[in-house]
């Protein structure tokens, strides 16, 4: 099957899932929720989402420079927000924007593996901390989630905390894992293995952890603000848990801009806390609109992506 056909099918799959979720929640109720949204909370959520992606661009730049790809902060920010616009429009969720970032960074300097690896590791850094925060949020929400899953609370907390601790420790074993996976000179993992052997590997890892934690906390604030705009009032632990399934599902390359997968995850993850399907879908829709708004702002502030790079990202 051609790539263009796969992209179309992914887009249709996401739209079909969105239609199914809307039908479950009742489109009229979802629309009524959105119409009553508090504009001040909506603005607060948008500002938090923008702040999150500004930190993300800063984090990516630091990682790219550490890997040997020189890039200015202004360029990194411009390309990051252009990528957000592509993510909101192209099938494949975050894939299109990630490919775009790798392409423009590669074209800005010497041909090295650093641009592609910087994007891959930047995405993994975010997912690493997202899952860790989600695990901690789940442990803190054990009084709600454990009965929902019919698991003793003490067992649930133990599993979440142990799993999160092991997950957070995983990157520290990266040099050993790379040696086991064949990061020998000349192999495709060689650039990553070389970077992991640098003396400042630990410092870079700590910086990435701090930046990624800030990114995810700001994203959680944006999601919670969207919920508050609709009258959904939950504690910080509930939102810390909910961001993991919602953002992970939105990142799956099975939709356009995460539409459908994000809303389905919102319904499933917020249901244990008593959030009605219509309100949960509304929370997912608002967060999706934040992404579109940021893509539009990025286009206005930084210009549209170059034609060649955009075509490369869409392939």
Task: Render pLDDT for 80-114 as a digit per residue (tens, 0 to 9).
Answer: 988 887 777 665 555 677 888 888 888 877 667 77
Would 78 be classed as within a structural domain? yes
Question: In the predicted model, is pLDDT for residue 37 greater than 70?
Answer: yes
Residue 313 binned pLDDT confidence (cut-offs 50, 70, 90): very low
Would 17 be classed as within a structural domain? no
Residue 311 is predicted with a pLDDT of: 44
With vertex at residue 214, the alpha carbon angle to CA 109 and CA 291, rounded to the nearest 5 degrees, is: 70
Would 79 be classed as within a structural domain? yes
Higher pLDDT, 39 or 20: 39
Question: In the predicted model, is pLDDT for residue 309 greater than 80?
Answer: no
Q: How many domains does the chain have?
A: 1
Give the separation between CA 91 and CA 14, rounded to whole angstroms: 9
Residue 292 is predicted with a pLDDT of: 85
Residue 154 is predicted with a pLDDT of: 95
Would 136 be classed as within a structural domain? yes
Q: What residues make up the domain containing 286? A: 49-314
Nearest-CA neighbor of 63 among 122, 130, 129, 103? Answer: 122
Q: What percent of the chain has pLDDT over 90?
A: 42
Residue 314 is predicted with a pLDDT of: 41
| Model confidence, pTM | 0.84
Would 65 be classed as within a structural domain? yes
- pLDDT digit string, tens, across residues 112-125: 777 888 888 898 89
Query: Residue 91: helix, strand or coil by DSSP?
Result: strand
| Highest-confidence segment of 28-32, 45-49, 190-194, 249-253 | 45-49
- The average pLDDT across 183-196 equals 62
**Are the C-beta atoms of residues 212 and 126 closer than 8 Å to each other?**
yes
**Are the C-beta atoms of residues 81 and 57 closer than 8 Å to each other?**
yes
State the helix-helix crossing angle for 39-66 and 73-89, rounded to 10 degrees: 120
Residue 82 is predicted with a pLDDT of: 84
Helices (H), 67-189: 73-89, 95-107, 114-140, 142-149, 153-169, 174-181
Residue 256's φ and ψ, nearest 5 degrees, are: -105, 115
Would 247 be classed as within a structural domain? yes
Residue 91's φ and ψ, nearest 5 degrees, are: -60, 145
Would 121 be classed as within a structural domain? yes
Would 286 be classed as within a structural domain? yes
Q: What percent of the chain has pLDDT over 70?
A: 74
Contacts 24+ apart (CB under 8 A), 33-39: 33/230, 33/278, 33/279, 33/282, 34/230, 34/282, 34/285, 34/286, 36/230, 36/231, 37/229, 37/230, 37/282, 37/286, 38/228, 38/229, 39/229
């Amino acid at each position: 099957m051609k790539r263009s056909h796969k992209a179309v099918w992914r887009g249709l799959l996401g739209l079909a899932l969105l239609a199914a979720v809307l039908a479950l929640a009742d489109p009229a109720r979802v629309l009524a929720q959105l119409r009553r949204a508090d504009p001040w909370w909506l603005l607060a959520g948008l500002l938090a989402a923008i702040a999150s992606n500004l930190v993300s661009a800063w984090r990516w730049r630091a990682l790219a420079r550490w890997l040997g790809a020189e890039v200015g902060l202004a360029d990194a920010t411009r390309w990051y927000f252009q990528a957000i616009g592509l993510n909101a429009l192209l099938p494949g969720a975050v894939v299109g924007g990630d490919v775009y970032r790798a392409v423009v960074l590669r074209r800005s300097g010497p041909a090295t593996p650093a641009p592609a690896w910087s994007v891959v590791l930047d995405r993994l850094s975010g997912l690493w901390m997202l899952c860790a925060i989600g695990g901690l949020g789940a442990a803190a929400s054990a009084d709600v989630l454990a009965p929902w899953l019919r698991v003793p609370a003490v067992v649930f907390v133990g599993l979440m905390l142990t799993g999160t601790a092991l997950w957070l420790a995983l990157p520290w074993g990266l040099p050993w894992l790379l040696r086991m996976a064949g990061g020998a000179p000349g192999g495709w993992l060689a650039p990553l293995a070389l970077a992991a052997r640098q003396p400042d590997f630990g410092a870079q890892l700590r910086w990435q952890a701090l930046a990624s934690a800030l990114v995810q906390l700001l994203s959680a604030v944006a999601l919670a603000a969207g919920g508050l705009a609709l009258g959904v009032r939950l504690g910080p632990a509930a939102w810390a848990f909910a961001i993991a399934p919602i953002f992970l599902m939105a990142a799956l390359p099975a939709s356009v801009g995460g539409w459908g997968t994000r809303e389905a995850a919102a319904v499933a993850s917020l249901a244990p806390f008593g959030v009605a399907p219509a309100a949960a879908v509304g929370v997912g829709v608002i967060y999706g609109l934040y992404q579109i708004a940021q893509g539009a702002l990025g286009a206005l502030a930084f210009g549209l992506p170059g034609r060649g790079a955009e075509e490369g990202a869409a392939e």
